[in-house]
Structure 1
C-alpha cells in the first residue's frame, strides 16, 4: 500500500516524523511519503519557501528508510489540492493498487470544504488520526462519511485500492510548527523539537527570524 502524509511542514518537526513512523508501523507498510504542499489552499503564506521547506524535509528524513519526501506538489503550479495529487498517484500506480492518505481530525473536520472532496474516497483510503481538540461535528458531512466507510481491520485497506476509512489514535508529540516559528522568532532555541540538521539549516538560511550563526 502506498501511503502519503501531506502538509505544509513549516518547519518539519519531531511530531510530524514520529507520527509518520507510527503510521508506517500501524499500517504495516515499508515507507510513508511526506508530501509538502506548494501553495496551501486553506491558510496564509508559509514562513519558508517551497524549496526551503523541501530542503528541511530532505535533511529530516535522510537517515530514516521508512520515510521519503515526494515533491510532486512543489513541481505543480498553483494551489496544492489533495484530489489532484491523488489523481496523479492513481494514474501512476494503476487502478488496483491500494493508496491511502493521512489527515488529522482537525483538518478532516472541514473535509467537506476541500476541493472535490466527494471524489477523494474514490481515489484512496483515508486514515484519520485523532488529534486534541473538539473533534468532529456528529451531524457534519465528515462524520457521516466516516461512519459510512469506517473499518477497524487494517488488512482490509491492503485488499482494495481505496474507499475505506480508518481511525487511528497513536501517541502524539505535543509540538506545533506555529510554536516553533514563534520560538525562533523570539530568539529561543527549538532544539529537540526539530532534528539538529533541520535547526542548523534554519539558522544557516535565517528562516523564521533566526539569527545566522547564533548559539545552537
Structure 2
C-alpha cells in the first residue's frame, strides 16, 4: 500500500508530522509520503517559496524512517492538482497496488470543486481525517460520496487498489500553519509548534516576517 499526504506545508509543523505518523500506524504501512504542492489551486500565494518549504520539510523529517518526501508536484509547472498526481502515481505503481490519499475534513468539504474530482475514486482510496471545525454538510456532494463509498475496516483498503472512503478520528494536535505565520509576523515565538530545525531555518532566512538571525 502506498500512502500520500499532501499540503502546502507553509510551514510544516508538529500537527502535520504527528498526523502522518498516526496514519502510518493506523493503516499498518511502513512509510507515508508527504507531498508538498507547488502552487495551491484553492488559496493565494504561499508565504514561503516551493524550495523553502521543501527545505523545511526535509529538516522536519530528517531521521524519521516512517516519513518520506515526494516532491513530484514541485517539479510540475502550474497549479498542483491531486488528480494529476494520483494518475502519475498509478502509472508507476500499476493497476493493482492500493493507493491511499489522506485529506482533512476541512479540505474534503470542497472536494466536489476539485479539478477532476470524479476521477479520484478510480485512482485511489481516500482517508478522511476528522478535524476541528464544522462537520460536513450532510446534503453536500462530499458527504454523500463519503456515505456511498464508506468502509469501516482497514482490510478494504488493502484488498483492492482504489475506490474506498474511510473516516478516521486520530488524536490531533490543534496547530495551524496560518496561526504559526501570524504568530511569527507578530513577533511571537512558534517554538514547540514547529520542529526546532524548522524554526531555526525560518529565522535564518527571515521567512514569514521573522527577524533574520545570523547565529543560525
In the superposition, the TM-score normalised over structure 2's length comes to 0.98
Report the counterpart of residue 107 of structure 1 in structure 2.
107
> For 1:118 and 1:213, how far apart are their aligned partners in 2?
47
Matches within 5 A, 1:138-149: 138-149=138-149
Give, in angstroms, the shift of residue 144 of structure 1: 1.1
The alignment status of 1:190 with 2:179, answered yes or no, reads no
The alpha-carbon distance between structure 1 residues 130 and 87, as it changes in their structure 2 partners (threshold 3 A), is same
Given that 2:204 and 2:214 are in contact with CA atoms closer than 8 Å, whether structure 1 keeps it comes out as no
Aligned ranges 1:42-191 → 2 under 5 Å: 42-191=42-191
Query: Cα RMSD (Å) of the superposition?
Result: 1.1
| CA–CA distance in structure 1, aligned partners of residues 75 and 132 of structure 2 | 33
Choose 182-191 or 7-16, whichever is displaced more. 182-191
> C-alpha deviations, 1:30-79, integer Å up to 9, x for none?
00000000000000000000000000000000011000111000000010
* CA-CA distance at 1:119 after TM superposition: 0.3
The number of aligned residues is: 216
Map Cα deviations across residues 166-203 of structure 1 (whole Å, 9 max, x no partner): 00000110111011001111111111000001011111
Partner of 1:207: 207
Per-residue deviation, 1:132 = 1.1
Give the distance between the partners of 2:43 and 2:156, measured in 1 at CA: 34
Moved over 2 A (4+): none
- Structure 1 counterpart of 2:36: 36
TM-score (norm 1): 0.98
Structure 2: segments with no counterpart, 5+ residues? none
Q: What whole-Å deviation, never above 9, does each CA across 1:115-153 have from its counterpart, x for those lacking one?
A: 000000000000000011111111111111111111011
Offset at 1:155? 1.4
- Distance in 2, Cα, partners of 1:106 & 1:135: 9
Report the Cα distance in structure 2 between the residues aligned to 1:136 and 1:189, rounded to whole angstroms.
Answer: 33
SS in 1 for 2:57: helix
1:214 shift after superposition: 7.5
